Chains A and B, each alone.
Chain A
Amino acid sequence: MMKKKQSIIHSIAAAPHIFWSVLFIILPLLIVVYYAFTDGEGNFSFENILSLGEYAEIFGLSLELSVIATFVCLIIGYPLAMIIAKSKPKHQKIFLMLLMLPMWTNLLIRTYSIMAIFDDGGILNSLLGTTFHFIGTKGAVIFGMVYDFLPYMVLPIYTCVSKIDKHMWEAASDLGCSPTKVLTKVIIPLSMSGVISGVTMVLVPSISTFYISQKLGGGTFELIGDTIERQFVTGALNVGAAISLVMMILILISLSVMNKFSDSSDGGIIV
């Protein structure tokens, strides 16, 4: 009996958080659900949900771009996290801070600078004398997403890799693993929980960005984030709420699938 009472007293510590999330996460969410299932005048209708069919293509495009962006983040981020984890402790802190620093400048100004560099008449083109067209293509949107979300991929992987016991490297090479084999057979499987949380932290926000796609994508195509933004701003709350509700459910499903694969309980998210 004592043990049970003990854990109840201690989980009181989570009470403020529970109260907070019920009040400021659940209730607003109910409002979104309310709007998703009602039409303009407030009476119940499935019409919003049914009309989502036409947004399937936009949603597909946003999913595709964010999957590619997440993959690029992983390919660039993993070696970076490995290098930082293996460098001297003094340098590790500096590298991590340097990684986080760009996040402190305003997203809008950062996007402007990227455009100033890569635009047809921008700095890069005028330096090289070429006029290759980059801003306004899907490639630029992917670059924008990778640029903005790379730190979210590197930090969890770094946390995970730096926690792997030093002897793992030695044991693996001692048993005959060449350096690349050590990575594939031992280190990558052990850092999988970091990779999963890294992928989640990049994939989810990149699906719903709207700013990057408008500016770097040149507005020639629309992502789901833009649609929701336009719906809300022009007052069509109901359809916007319906889209975001469906999207959230999809994300929840894909997250639980991903966690099942990694079967480890929780990866260290942040350093």
Chain B
Amino acid sequence: MKKYLSGIYLTLIFGILYIPIITLIFFSFNSANSTAVFEGFSIKWYIELFNSPETFEALRNTLILAVLSSLIATVIGTAAAEGIYRMRNKLAKSAITSVTNIPMMNPDIVTGMSMMLFFVAVVAGISTVFELTYEDIGFFAMLIAHTTFCLPYVILSVLPRINELGNSLTEAAQDLGCTSMQAFFKVKLPNIMPGVISGMVMAFTMSLDDFVISYFVGSSNFQTLPLLIYSMTKKKVTPDMYALSAIIIVTVFLLLIISNFKTGKKIEGRRREARRK
């Protein structure tokens, strides 16, 4: 009976989570230019999507920004987590962790606005020395802002893994002749990789969907997808954006099923072996 119950609960919750997504995909095939009244079936919006370079450039910008910022955040975050783990005095440790959580705690508006003012001040300062406009550092400002608010997620997912791992492995590696650097990369990193990857994934998701901070910090020559969609609210969000979201969701969904289908086999195999021993 219990198994049956949990099955229903699961489908209920995921159902509620996915009904809006299904509506979204449903409306992306709407022949009318409306996201509320369904007139007829047509792939007009997909065609429109594929011949508007502006949208795809926005998507490319978003992805480049998301991938780069999550990578940088992961590198700095993992190193920071290792550093924090090794730190001896409690005060420094708690200070750093609370500072790291500030971007997560602050409303996006505040982070965005303060970073914009900061960058403008920086540009003003530098341009007294040699000629520099906000345009030139536009992309980097966005990249820095995204990395900054992705960092907490990386650290919060890597630190517990490092705490769990303890020192035994790295000491064993050093005993076998690794320098401390090699020990970290050869032994510790592979073991905390799940944490690192999930941190990166979290960072990627955050950066992908951010609008507020990008709006304030972004410069004129780097428009990301969320900015494009949000600016449509002057008049009306047209279904071609629905089409784009539908494509992203469906591709990710299919990749998920395929890759899980493969790795699933492996895990099942390992479990049966373990039991037989």
Interface residues of A (CB under 8 A from B): 4, 7, 9-18, 20-21, 24-29, 31-32, 35, 76, 79-80, 83, 86, 88-90, 93-95, 97-110, 112-114, 116-117, 119, 122-123, 147, 150, 159, 163, 197, 201, 204-205, 207-208, 210, 225, 228-229, 232, 237, 240-241, 244, 247-248, 251-252, 255, 265-271
Query: Within 8 Å CB of B82, what residues of A?
Result: 10, 13-14
Query: Within 8 Å CB of A100, what residues of B?
Result: 201, 205
| B187 CB–A CB distance under 8 Å | no
Select B84's contact among A14, A86, A90, beta carbons within 8 Å.
A14
Query: Within 8 Å CB of A97, what residues of B?
Result: 256, 260
Select A106's contact among B88, B194, B241, beta carbons within 8 Å.
B241
Q: How many of B's residues come within 8 Å of A, CB to CB? A: 93
Contact A116–B80 (Cβ < 8 Å) = no
Extra contacts, 16 of them, besides A28-B118, A104-B209, A241-B110 (Cβ < 8 A), are A13-B79, A13-B82, A14-B87, A20-B76, A21-B100, A79-B6, A80-B13, A90-B264, A104-B249, A113-B21, A113-B23, A113-B24, A201-B104, A240-B110, A266-B163, A270-B198
Q: Which of B45-53, B127-135, B223-231 contacts A (4 or more CB under 8 A)?
A: B223-231
Contact B86–A95 (Cβ < 8 Å) = no
Contact B17–A102 (Cβ < 8 Å) = yes
Query: Within 8 Å CB of B65, what residues of A?
Result: none
Contact B110–A17 (Cβ < 8 Å) = no
Task: Say how far B10's CB is from chain A's closest CB, in angstroms.
Answer: 6
Contact B83–A21 (Cβ < 8 Å) = no
Instruction: Give complex CA distance A197, B157 in Å.
Output: 11
Select A271's contact among B23, B198, B211, beta carbons within 8 Å.
B198
A-contact bits for B246-259, CB 8 A (1 contact / 0 none): 00110011001100
- Complex: chain A residue closest to B7, CB-CB: A83
Contact A266–B159 (Cβ < 8 Å) = yes
Instruction: Give complex CA distance A124, B19 in Å.
Output: 11
Select B109's contact among A28, A89, A102, A225, beta carbons within 8 Å.
A225
Query: Within 8 Å CB of B267, what residues of A?
Result: 89-90
A-contact bits for B12-26, CB 8 A (1 contact / 0 none): 011011111101100
| B151 CB–A CB distance under 8 Å | yes
Instruction: Give complex CA distance A240, B82 in Å.
Output: 37
Q: Can you give 8 A-B contacts (C-beta < 8 A)?
A: A21-B148, A25-B100, A32-B114, A98-B17, A113-B20, A116-B36, A150-B17, A244-B110
Query: Within 8 Å CB of A114, what residues of B?
Result: 20
Query: Within 8 Å CB of B76, what residues of A?
Result: 16-17, 20
Query: Within 8 Å CB of B230, what residues of A?
Result: 108
Select B87's contact among A11, A104, A204, beta carbons within 8 Å.
A11
Select B10's contact among A95, A251, A252, beta carbons within 8 Å.
A95
Contact A16–B80 (Cβ < 8 Å) = yes
Task: Say how far B237's CB is from chain A's closest CB, in angstroms.
Answer: 6
| B113 CB–A CB distance under 8 Å | yes
Query: Within 8 Å CB of A105, what residues of B?
Result: 21, 24, 245, 248-249
Take A90-B264, A90-B268 as given contacts and tell me if A109 and B83 are in contact as well, using a CB distance cutoff of 8 Å: no
Closest 9 pairs (CB-CB, A-B):
A14-B83, A208-B107, A17-B80, A28-B114, A270-B157, A90-B264, A113-B20, A13-B83, A269-B156
Query: Within 8 Å CB of B147, what residues of A?
Result: 20
| B263 CB–A CB distance under 8 Å | yes
Instruction: Give complex CA distance A271, B18 in Å.
Output: 22
Contact B79–A14 (Cβ < 8 Å) = yes
Contact B252–A101 (Cβ < 8 Å) = yes
Instruction: Give complex CA distance A55, B10 in Å.
Output: 40
List residues 155-196 of chain B with CB under 8 A from any CB of chain A: 155-157, 159-161, 163-164, 180, 194-195
Instruction: Give complex CA distance A145, B41 in Å.
Output: 32
Task: Say how far B175's CB is from chain A's closest CB, in angstroms.
Answer: 15
Contact B241–A13 (Cβ < 8 Å) = no
Interface centre among A16, A35, A105, A266 (most CB of B within 10 A): A105
Instruction: Give complex CA distance A95, B17 in Å.
Output: 12
Contact A17–B79 (Cβ < 8 Å) = yes
Contact B159–A21 (Cβ < 8 Å) = no
Take A27-B118, A108-B237, A109-B241 as given contacts and tell me if A247 and B248 are in contact as well, using a CB distance cutoff of 8 Å: no
